[in-house]
Amino acid sequence: MDKNNNLIFDAQHIWHPYSSIAKPSCIHEVVSADGVRLSLNDGREIIDGMSSWWSTIHGYNHPRLNAAAKEQIDQMSHVMFGGLTHQPAVDLSRKLIEMTAAPLQTVFLADSGSIAVEVAIKMAIQYHFAQGQPNKQRLLSVHNAYHGDTFGAMAVSDPENGMHNMFEHVLPKHLFAPAPSCKNDEDWQESDIAEFKKLISENQHELAAVILEPLVQGAGGMRFYCPEYLRQVRALCDQYDVLLILDEIATGFGRTGSLFAYEQADICPDILCVGKALTGGYMTLAATLCNDKVVKGIAADGSGVLMHGPTFMGNPLACRVACESLDLLLESDWQQQIKTIEQQLINELMPYQSMDLVKDVRVKGAIGVVELHQPLDEQMDWLPKFIVDQGVWIRPFRNLIYIMPPYIINEDDLTRLTRAIGKIIERLSN
């Protein structure tokens, strides 16, 4: 059979993330994956710099994750969660409660990151509703935020960044403060939070919650900001009776150097969303955790019923693999792995700062970002092929070339990724 058959069918019939069927973009077929390598149908192997969008922290085809999945399949792949429970859900929830901040004691197992955000928003609105404050239904977010693609999540994502703006008229109108911009606590100035402060104080009677990606804004621009911003926000939320939702779907499980980014600010959210790396990238699963204040607050209406319950909630197969992935992470020397990756990213990416096309280079934990002055959209005809020809998998976005590799990547493979970034910039310069 022609090895391009799949690609032809795919181009004609299958939507990819943010893709067009009318004008299909360059697609590669992966036949298998192992460690940090993806094998393509033309026999080439490429090094994964994306961790399949923050998720495959232990690499692909991991023997322990494989074994966990196989064992669970032989026992029970799925059972409904309404009226039933099972060991994998109990084990996973216990692990999540143990590894997150002490006040977070209750878990909702959601089926994707976006759904975890929907559930968080519902929790916040239900909390205030049950307190006799039905007018507290809006959220305060920040510019450059990204929280997912479902309608509730879109409504708290940057309204102007082009990803969702065509839905503007059907989305609830939330409030947006300027994107956090102070990079280091030492440079903190009161003006860094001034607009946020004004919005929360003026709208406190309508606000159910603040929602933020702590320390790293991901798909909204790969922007980093300082812990002091989070401390200030936490204090303002307490002052104005507004709940704090932290979305650690991208940053959670070690990526920024601490298990959760909020630890670097020494604060705790009322509601926490996790996902992506939760299953080590094996399958979709996310979770929304909350503190007793939220649980008791929701229960104040007499029922305590949280209005959400998807068909695949608490899927045993996903929970079992997630348990194994969390064990793997906690048994590993992940802090050292992240520090080593961080140092190498600093050493190998910072020199690109002097190139004409480069606006900024930044590194945080196992995340390396090269921001260009111009967006890459026009280059998309040749760029994906050029990147794969360098033996790597990197997926630039707007004016960003960024990597967040699996934590198990070795020095040589990481160098191949950083060199490939250099080659891309060189090629763009010609």
| Residue numbers at the binding site for ligand PLP (CB under 6 A) | 53, 112-114, 117, 146-148, 213, 218-219, 247, 249-250, 275
Q: Rounded to an integer, what distance in angstroms lies between the CA atom of residue 207 and that of residue 367?
A: 33
- Min CB(65)–ligand PLP separation in Å: 18
Options 111, 158, 247, 270, the catalytic residue: 247
Nearer to ligand PLP, 35 or 148 (CB): 148
- Min CB(247)–ligand PLP separation in Å: 5
Cβ atoms of 210 and 139 closer than 8 Å: yes
Nearer to ligand PLP, 129 or 393 (CB): 393
| Matching residue, tokens 């390396």 | 368
Active site residue 60: no
Active site residue 247: yes
Active site residue 423: no
- Min CB(220)–ligand PLP separation in Å: 9
Does residue 224 sit in helix, strand or coil? strand
- Min CB(283)–ligand PLP separation in Å: 11
The CA-atom distances, in angstroms, between 377 and each of 19, 362, 372, 395 are 13, 21, 12, 12
- Min CB(377)–ligand PLP separation in Å: 19
Cβ atoms of 153 and 249 closer than 8 Å: no
Contacts for 162 with CB less than 8 Å, ≥ 6 apart: none
Options 127, 146, 229, 407, the catalytic residue: 146
Nearer to ligand PLP, 317 or 428 (CB): 317
- Min CB(144)–ligand PLP separation in Å: 11
Options 276, 352, 402, 413, the catalytic residue: 276
Residue nearest to ligand PLP as judged by C-beta position: 113
Nearer to ligand PLP, 113 or 281 (CB): 113
- Min CB(280)–ligand PLP separation in Å: 14
Does residue 127 sit in helix, strand or coil? helix
DSSP secondary structure of 53-80: HHT-TT-BS-HHHHHHHHHHHHH-S---
Nearer to ligand PLP, 113 or 384 (CB): 113
Options 2, 18, 23, 412, the catalytic residue: 18
Q: Rounded to an integer, what distance in angstroms lies between the CA atom of residue 160 and that of residue 163?
A: 8
Cβ atoms of 215 and 225 closer than 8 Å: yes
Pairing relation of β-strands 271-274 and 243-247? Answer: parallel
Q: Rounded to an integer, what distance in angstroms lies between the CA atom of residue 396 and that of residue 377?
A: 9
Across 151-274, the runs of DSSP E, i.e. the strands, are: 175-177, 207-212, 216-217, 223-224, 243-247, 271-274
Active site residue 91: no
Contacts for 366 with CB less than 8 Å, ≥ 6 apart: 254, 255, 337, 338, 341, 342, 345, 404, 405, 407
Nearer to ligand PLP, 244 or 358 (CB): 244
Nearer to ligand PLP, 113 or 254 (CB): 113
- The set of catalytic residues is 18, 146, 247, 276
